[in-house]
């Protein structure tokens, strides 16, 4: 299995988020606040996280995600577990 670069991880997260919430992929960037940009609440964010955990085959403890609201930081947290 090849290692993903942080850039690839970020891109995959953006792709998945765009698909799940039906927003144009090009409208999302790594530094976006995903709550604001996707117009989602914490429950929807949780469903996105569950999907990302399955996609990347990682487990993200809640404490690691406290205060994380942008795609880039989310990617860093996932990347550190790959």
Whether 4 and 79 have beta carbons less than 8 Å apart is answered as yes
The mean pLDDT of 7-21, rounded to a whole number, is: 97
The chain-wide mean pLDDT, for the chain, equals 94
* pTM of this prediction exceeds 0.85: yes
Which residue do the tokens 């670069």 mark? 5
Q: Structural domain boundaries of the chain? A: 6-79
pLDDT reading at 8 higher than 70: yes
Q: For residue 65, what pLDDT band results from cuts at 50, 70 and 90?
A: confident
Which residue do the tokens 């709550």 mark? 35
Among candidate residues 77, 74, 4, the one with its CA nearest the CA of residue 40:
74
The C-alpha atoms of residue 23 and residue 26 are separated, in whole angstroms, by 9
The C-alpha atoms of residue 35 and residue 32 are separated, in whole angstroms, by 9
pLDDT reading at 2 higher than 80: no
* Choice between 61 and 1, residue whose per-residue pLDDT is larger: 61
Say if domain 6-79 classifies as CATH 1.10.1200.10: yes
């Amino acid at each position: 299995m090849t290692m993903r670069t942080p850039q690839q991880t970020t891109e995959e997260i953006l792709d998945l988020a765009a698909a799940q919430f039906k927003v144009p992929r090009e409208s999302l960037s790594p530094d976006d606040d995903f709550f604001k940009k996707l117009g989602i609440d914490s429950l929807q964010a949780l469903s996105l996280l569950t999907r990302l955990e399955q996609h990347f085959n990682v487990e993200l403890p809640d404490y690691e995600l406290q205060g994380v609201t942008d795609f880039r930081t989310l990617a860093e947290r996932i990347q550190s577990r790959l």
